[in-house]
Structure 1
Amino acid sequence: MSNNFKDDIDALAKHYGELVKQHGDAAESAQYADRETQERRMEVLCEIGVTKDSKILDFGCGTGQMLSLLQRTIGFDGEYVGYDISPEAIEFARTAHPEGRFEVRDILDNPSEETFDYVLLSGVFNNLMADNRGFFEAVSRRLMAQAKTGYAFNMLSRFVDYFDEGLYYEDPLHAFRFCKENLSPLVTLRHDYSVRPGAIPFEFTLYVHRADTEPRPLNIPG
Structure 2
Amino acid sequence: MDKSTNEKFKAFTNKFFATKNITDSYKDVQWGSTESQKIRFQYICKLFEKDQSNDITLLDVGCGLGHLYDFILEKNYNNIRYSGLDIQKDFIEFAKKKHPEGNFMNKSLFELDADKHYDYLVASGTFSVTVPNENMKIFLEESVEKMFALCNKGIAFNLLTTRMPSEYIGTTETHFNPVEILDMCFKLTNRINLYHSYKPNDFTILMYK
- TM-score normalised over the length of structure 2: 0.90
SS at match of 1:124: coil
The number of aligned residues is 201
1:33/1:145 CA distance change after superposition, 3 Å:
same
1:88/1:108 CA distance change after superposition, 3 Å:
same
Query: AA paired with 2:78?
Result: F
Matched, 1:68 2:70: yes
- Paired with 2:197 and 2:33, the residues of 1 have a C-alpha distance of 21
- Paired with 2:113 and 2:184, the residues of 1 have a C-alpha distance of 21
- Paired with 2:85 and 2:119, the residues of 1 have a C-alpha distance of 15
Alignment of 1:102-113 (within 5 A): 102-113=104-115
Matched, 1:149 2:153: yes
Matched, 1:136 2:140: yes
Question: After alignment, is 24-33 or 147-156 more displaced?
Answer: 24-33
Can you list the C-alpha shifts for 1:130-169, whole angstroms capped at 9, x where unaligned?
1100110111111111111110000000001121111000
Q: Which residue of 1 aligns with 2:178?
A: 172
SS at match of 2:143: helix
- Paired with 1:74 and 1:209, the residues of 2 have a C-alpha distance of 23
**Deviation for aligned residue 1:88:** 0.3
Can you list the C-alpha shifts for 1:2-51, whole angstroms capped at 9, x where unaligned?
233431331112222x23x3343111111112212111111110011245
Query: AA paired with 1:192?
Result: S
Unpaired segments of 5 or more residues in structure 1? 195-200, 211-222
**Deviation for aligned residue 1:113:** 2.3
Identity value in percent: 26
Q: Which residue of 2 aligns with 1:198?
A: none
Unpaired segments of 5 or more residues in structure 2? none
RMSD value, Cα: 1.6
